[in-house]
C-alpha cells in the first residue's frame, strides 16, 4: 500500500494507534519509532513481530509501544521527498541503513532475551481443525483479493497458533512472511497451495 497524501497517512496512524495500543504495565518497555522514516525503514513489520511475540509468549512484564513524532508540515515534506527519491541509489542507501539497523536490533534481542526469557521455546501447539483451516484460508484469500494485507495476515496468524503439520505450517509461515513484506501475490499463491489440498 503506497501512501499518497497526508490524509491517508493520518488515517493510517489512527488505525495503527488502535491496532498496536498496548497498556503500560511497569515492566520492560520496547519502543518502536513509527514516524514516516521509521515506517520507510521497516518499522511496521518489526512492531507487529514484537507485538505478536510478546502476546504469543504471554510476557506480562513486557510492553511494546510505538513512538510517533507528529509534525504534519514536516510529514508532508517527507512524503514529497519520499516520492521524489524512489531511485535505485536511494533504495540502496535505505537497504544498507536497514541492514545496520537490523543488526543492532538482533543484538538488542540477544541482550533482552537473557532478561525476558524470549529464547524460551513456545509451548507445544494443539492440532488444528481442518474445518478451521479451510475457513481461515478462504477468509484470508478474500482479504488478499481486496488487497487487505493486515486482514489476510490476521487470518494467517490465527492459523499459526495451531499445528497443521510440518508442510502446511511451513506454507503458512511463508505466507505470513510475504505479507509482512507486503507481497500479497506471493502470500496468495502460498495460501492457494493449502486451499488446493
Cα radius of gyration (the chain): 18
Model pLDDT, residue 94: 63
Specify the 3-state DSSP secondary structure of 127: strand
CA distance 166 to 168: 6
> Under 8 Å CB-to-CB from 9, ≥6 apart: which residues?
3, 36, 75, 79
What pTM was computed for the model? Answer: 0.41
Extract the residue ranges of the chain whose pLDDT is less than 50: 22-25, 71-72, 117-121
Predicted pLDDT at 86: 61
> What would the pLDDT profile of 65-93 be if each residue is shown by its tens digit?
776 655 445 555 666 666 656 666 666 66
Question: For residue 118, what pLDDT is reported?
Answer: 47
Predicted confidence at residue 90, as pLDDT, reads 62
* Residue corresponding to grid cell 502460498: 190
* Domains with residue ranges and CATH for the chain: 6-116 (no CATH), 130-196 (1.20.120)
Secondary structure, 3-state, 103-129: HHHHHHHHHHHHHHCCCCCCCCCCECC
- What pLDDT was estimated at residue 155? 92
Amino acid at each position: 500500500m503506497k501512501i499518497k497524501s497526508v490524509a491517508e497517512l493520518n488515517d493510517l496512524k489512527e488505525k495503527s494507534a488502535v491496532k498496536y495500543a498496548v497498556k503500560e504495565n511497569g515492566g520492560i518497555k520496547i519502543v518502536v519509532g513509527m514516524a514516516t522514516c521509521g515506517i520507510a525503514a521497516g518499522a511496521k513489520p518489526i512492531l507487529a513481530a514484537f507485538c505478536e511475540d510478546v502476546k504469543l509468549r504471554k510476557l506480562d512484564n513486557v510492553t511494546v509501544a510505538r513512538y510517533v513524532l507528529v509534525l504534519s508540515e514536516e510529514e508532508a515534506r517527507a512524503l514529497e521527498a519520499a516520492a521524489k527519491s524512489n531511485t535505485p541509489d536511494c533504495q540502496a542507501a535505505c537497504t544498507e541503513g536497514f541492514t545496520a539497523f537490523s543488526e543492532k536490533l538482533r543484538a538488542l534481542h540477544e541482550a533482552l532475551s537473557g532478561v525476558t526469557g524470549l529464547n524460551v521455546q513456545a509451548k507445544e501447539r494443539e492440532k488444528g481443525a481442518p474445518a478451521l483451516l479451510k475457513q481461515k484460508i478462504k477468509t484470508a484469500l478474500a482479504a488478499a483479493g481486496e488487497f487487505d494485507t493486515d486482514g489476510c495476515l490476521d487470518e494467517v496468524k490465527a492459523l499459526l497458533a495451531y499445528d497443521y503439520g510440518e508442510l502446511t505450517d511451513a506454507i503458512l509461515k511463508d505466507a505470513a512472511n510475504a505479507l509482512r513484506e507486503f507481497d500479497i501475490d506471493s502470500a496468495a499463491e502460498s495460501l492457494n497451495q493449502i486451499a488446493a489440498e
